[in-house]
Structure 1
Amino acid sequence: MSVSWSLPAARRLGFYGMAAFAGRGLMTDMLRLTAAAAFTDIGLHRLEANIQPGNVTSIALVRRIGFRKEGFSPRYLRIEGVWHDHERWALLRDDG
């Protein structure tokens, strides 16, 4: 889990899971705890996750927590020399 500190009251999340631990709810628990700490302890207003459209597992994860899709960013991130589109998902403190 990583959190970018570049925006004043909003942060971008980065996360990944390992297949050996899939299906146990660990990522769901981790993201719920991270969101709670971000909003309560740190005082953030918003969390964002940028996810490739084909990453159905990550999209399902953020949906479970209450993130909403806000937009689409063509060629958002360059991975191994290739530009990839991403969807922008966000959770606001007052969404929960």
Structure 2
Amino acid sequence: MSSHISIRPPSASDEALFLAAARRSQALHRPWTHAPATPVEFRAYMERMQQPENCAHMVCYGDTESIAGVINVTNIVMGSFRSGYLGYYVFAGYERQGFMRAGLLATVRHAFKVLKLHRLEANIQPANTASIALVASCGFLKEGYSPRYLKIAGRWRDHERWAITAKQ
């Protein structure tokens, strides 16, 4: 199924479809992440992703307008570092079907070939085994453990640090 996946930047016209998918996915995302679920949150997300240090991708299924998930490359630093951080989530109904793997592989290619990054890092809560399996299947390597790394849902949470670098 995942061979019919493409990635593209989000647009304002995605708002209604995106918000419906985010709302129906809230239980799936808890406690790992929070997708924008209101018009105000969606517009703030769009504004944030238009900044030069961020690059957002919708993971789309086939020739339809279906959005299977989202992959963001954020806090991009150029110069001698050339790195960015990944954030991603799948929408309910598309999980465990290979959509996010195909989307992540496409995002990694885009980050290394188009954005000219050297490194991508994903920080994942240790109990989020599906996310860890996803990055491991895409060639990311575990680099370490960061206690109380990110504040999610009002709590500082530990994360594993996974990364991939461009092949020279």
Question: TM range, normalised to the smaller chain?
Answer: over 0.9
Q: How much is the aligned-residue C-alpha RMSD, in angstroms?
A: 1.3
Code of the residue aligned with 2:75 in structure 1: it is W
Matches within 5 A, 1:1-96: 1-8=71-78, 9-94=82-167
Higher RCO structure (Cα 8 Å, ≥6 apart): 1
1:19 is paired with a residue whose SS is coil
2:126 is paired with a residue whose SS is coil
Q: Which moved more, 1:2-11 or 1:33-42?
A: 2-11
TM-score scaled to structure 1, two decimals? 0.92
**C-alpha separation in 2, matches of 1:75 and 1:33:** 30
Code of the residue aligned with 1:69 in structure 2: it is K
**C-alpha separation in 1, matches of 2:72 and 2:87:** 5
Taking only the aligned residue pairs, the percentage that are identical comes to 48
1:66 is paired with a residue whose SS is coil
| Runs of 5+ unmatched residues, structure 2 | 1-70
Q: Once the two structures are superposed, what CA deviation does each residue of 1:24-56 show, in whole Å capped at 9, x if it has no partner?
A: 210000000000011111111000000000000
Q: How many residues align?
A: 95
1:81 Cα deviation after fit: 1.7
| Runs of 5+ unmatched residues, structure 1 | none
